[in-house]
Structures are given as C-alpha cells and as structure tokens.
Amino acid sequence: MDINHAYQLIVDKLSLWAKEFIKLLPNIALAAIILVFGFFLAKSIRNGLKRLMGRVIKNETLDNLFSSLIYIFLIGIVIFIALSVLQLDKAVTSLLAGAGILGLALAFAFQDIAANFISGIFLSVRRPLHVGDIVKIKDYMGKVEEINLRDTVIRTYQGQMVIIPNKDVFQSPIENYTLLGKRRIDLKIGISYGEDLERVRDITIEAVKDIPGLTTDDEVTMFYTEFGDSSINYVIRLWISIAEQVNFLEVQSQAIILIKKAYDENSIMIPFPIRTLDFGIKGGVGLNEVIESRPQPKTISKLNME
C-alpha cells in the first residue's frame, strides 16, 4: 500500500472525527450542565427526603437506606438523560437491557436475602418491637439487642445471643411483654377437698396483694378451675408493672412463699397426689378383699399329718 495514500486516509478519518466532535461540542456542554445540575439536585432531594423520613420513620439506618436508593435512582436518570443528549441512544438501550437482566438474575440468586431485607424494612416502618423490649419469637425469649435490616438479635435469659432472620420475625407471632408496660403471673395451685373454698380465697388474696412490684390498677383475682384427682384446683392472677424476666420470677417466687406461709398458719392443706389402686376386674375391690377371697394353701404340717 502506498504510504501517502495510507497517510491521507488517516488524516481524512481524523478530520471527520474532529468535525463530528466540533458538532457535538454544544451537546457535550449541555450534557455537562445536566450532569452538574442533576448531581446537585439529586443530592438536595436526598437530604430533604432524609430529613422528612427521619420525622416519620425515626430509624437512622432505614433513613440512610431510602435516601441512598433514591439518590442512586436520580443519578441514574441524570446519566441516561446526558447520554441521550450525546446521541448515545444505543448505549442507553444496552445499559437498560443489561440492568434488567442483571436485576432478574440477582433476584433469583438472592431471594432469601431480599426477603429478609424487605421484612426488615417493614419491621422498621411498623415497629412491633424496639431495642430493649422483652419479646418471645418462636421458641426464643429475651431482650432485643439489635434490629438490623437483615436480622434481629435477641439476648436470651440463658445468656445466648440469638440471631433471627427478619423474614422469620415478620412472619411469626411476636409476644411483646414490654408493649403494655405490665405482665400477668398465673399461679396454679390445688387445695384439699375438705377446705372452705371462700375462706381459702380470702386468705390467698390477702397473702399476696401487697407484694412489691404489683400494679395498682389491676386487682389480684382468683378463680377455681376444676375438680382434680386429689384437690380442687384454682388459678391466682397477679399483674406486675415490670416486664423483666428477673422481676417476674422474683414476684412469682415471693407469691409462692407467702401463700405457703399463710396456708401453714391457717391449717390449709395442699394435698399430695393420691392414687387409688383397684384390684378387681369389675372395679371397686380393695387389696384386702382380694387376699381374703383367694383360697389359702395347705401348710406343710397338715400335709404330713394326712
């Protein structure tokens, strides 16, 4: 190939690019203005939405998440507009198609993470539990230590730190003992069939009504529930104003001590379990009757005499 001809081709190509670049200079300037103004506007919208959501949601992690997502979305719009101004429509189309395929693939690959993430968002918005609450979720009961976007951390009363995925927290019943500011203790006790039930009720309620920690708005109540095998059973209900498990156990233990002491002072019997053994096929036959009805074997002396 002739060197001069090759040189001329290169010069023509560069000249064409230079002409095209000069033609695009207004578009490049406009795209630059759009980018600068768009970045400034996106940042201002992000800060404004962050302040607004901070008043509604009051969760710093969630506020930062939403504001960052909105900021990224706005920046994407600004970039696509700038590319369109530069007449790079094919590049915009390719980017959109690639983003759609990538998003679909990520949705299938990380569906559990996405489920926990979305559940964390709903938990942050609805706020059925807070850090420091005493809760029971599934088989775990303890104090809430952390509420993250992916999981919730509970410190059980046995001292273990349990990390529960937010999907399980959101889909499971949550027993929140802190929400009402009080908690009920149900004590089930049985007394002898020979006791005066009204007298027992008065003595029992009198024994526990002044325990420290009980609420002043709720009365101590007692209800007889059933005729047991060896006792008449009842349940006594006490409301405590503190939801901590330690205080719950302390009040419950104190109630048991005071009831036992009151029963001892008033000769009220808490019977032991009693079982009646029936040795008859048709029922109602005691052991002595069975022994008397059986034929007695002959002794050795009588057999020798015969």
Neighbours of 217 (CB within 10 A): 8
The predicted pLDDT at position 242 comes to 72
Helix (H) or strand (E) holding 274, with range, is: none
Q: Among 214, 189, 200, which residue's Cα sits nearest to residue 262?
A: 200
Span 1-30, mean pLDDT?
70
- Residue 43's Cβ-side half-sphere holds a number of Cα atoms within 13 Å equal to 6
Q: Quickly name the fold that domain 3-109 has.
A: Helix Hairpins (1.10.287)
- In this predicted structure, the answer to whether residue 98 has a pLDDT above a threshold of 70 is no
Span 147-176, mean pLDDT?
88
Q: Among 191, 113, 200, which residue's Cα sits nearest to residue 149?
A: 113
Helix (H) or strand (E) holding 226, with range, is: strand 221-227
SS3 153: strand
Nearest-angstrom CA–CA distance, 39 and 50 = 16
The predicted pLDDT at position 305 comes to 46
The predicted pLDDT at position 235 comes to 95
pLDDT in tens, 17-53: 777 667 667 777 887 888 888 888 888 888 887 777 7
- In this predicted structure, the answer to whether residue 302 has a pLDDT above a threshold of 60 is no
Q: Quickly name the fold that domain 183-265 has.
A: Alpha-Beta Plaits (3.30.70)
**pLDDT confidence bin for 92, thresholds 50/70/90:** low
The predicted pLDDT at position 58 comes to 64
Rounded (to 5) percent helix, strand, coil in the chain: 55, 15, 30
User: Which residue reads 């529930």 in tokens?
Assistant: 225
CATH, range 129-176: 2.30.30.60
- Least confidently predicted of 72-86, 91-105, 245-259: 91-105
Helix (H) or strand (E) holding 101, with range, is: helix 89-109
The predicted pLDDT at position 237 comes to 94
Strand partners for 155: 143, 161
Span 77-86, mean pLDDT?
79
The predicted pLDDT at position 74 comes to 86
Domain range list for the chain: 3-109, 129-176, 183-265
Span 154-164, mean pLDDT?
90
Comparison of pLDDT for 123 and 233, the residue scoring more: 233
